[in-house]
A and B are shown apart, each in its own frame.
Chain A
């Protein structure tokens, strides 16, 4: 499997176009703003709780800082991740480079995996930069490690799911904008599908709630690691990548 050369090429393309830089900058800027305001609020609350022991009993850094921070970050990701994957196949198709890429001695599956892993690497880099926030928190106070790690694992899995759905959308079109809007639409729908679970109720309500991207992420954000949620994300990733592979194959026959 010749994943490595294609992976390198993809990363090089990400950083030689402005998209990756802009997405990263905006993500870090907004995430940083959220962190600042949440942490500033927490500081204020903890100062007040010094005078009010009742309040200090309920105050902990995991629940008051990381849980809202992770939730906010997940919303930014929902908006920005489609922009990372939109070019993956659409641009190759529009510029015709796919004709060369798919005649090099690399299997379609390896091309897909290389492209997906490159997008994932970019995302991991984005997450690594956000480690500054827990680092700052650790400097001032002592958070619990378990929930923090669970939160990051949740972010990683959810982002990886966004990227897989985006890769699939990108393989369906030559137009990057169409790819990104489709991705956003699908993700947003999977995000809000759980909202109707409450009044649908019964087994269907549980199905809707199980399909929701948000409900599964919330468990991670609370610091709970549940295999059910991990499997949910892995399932969607595998399904999306499988469909992408099929779509590449179908496109070959159409020429």
Chain B
């Protein structure tokens, strides 16, 4: 079963996705806003955990592309999420290519700047958590990292990840299995493992 345990979270639009998509197709601002508020946190978190240099700007680029082209999209909510993350992943790849570098860990202080300033304590805690996730994921292969972060941060099922990355579900399962085993060993080396 691919992600069957979190099926209750699959509906991010509270059953209103068809109406939202119809609104997006005709350029309704409320529909655009709904799509952005629903999916942007996950996209931004994915890009941040992937080590994007400017995750917020990149998120805006992603949704500009999504909203400008959503009129031609046909499919259900799951397919829409896969499509959004496909665009996000491509934008990330483009950014890495532009900068000519691979994702690298950034200093903790710099990571904290990306958090929302309203609740400093929560923001710092989130930054710490994100930094920790990023540090651990940096020990994975790029393919494993893509799969794990799309599954955990993007809340995508195995099938959705497979669609977003252009792989088979079997390949995604194999990658996530290896990724969690690698994380297990990395945490063991840190002495975190029970």
Query: Do these two chains interact?
Result: no
Q: Which residues of B contact A (CB under 8 A)?
A: none
Q: Which residues of A contact B (CB under 8 A)?
A: none
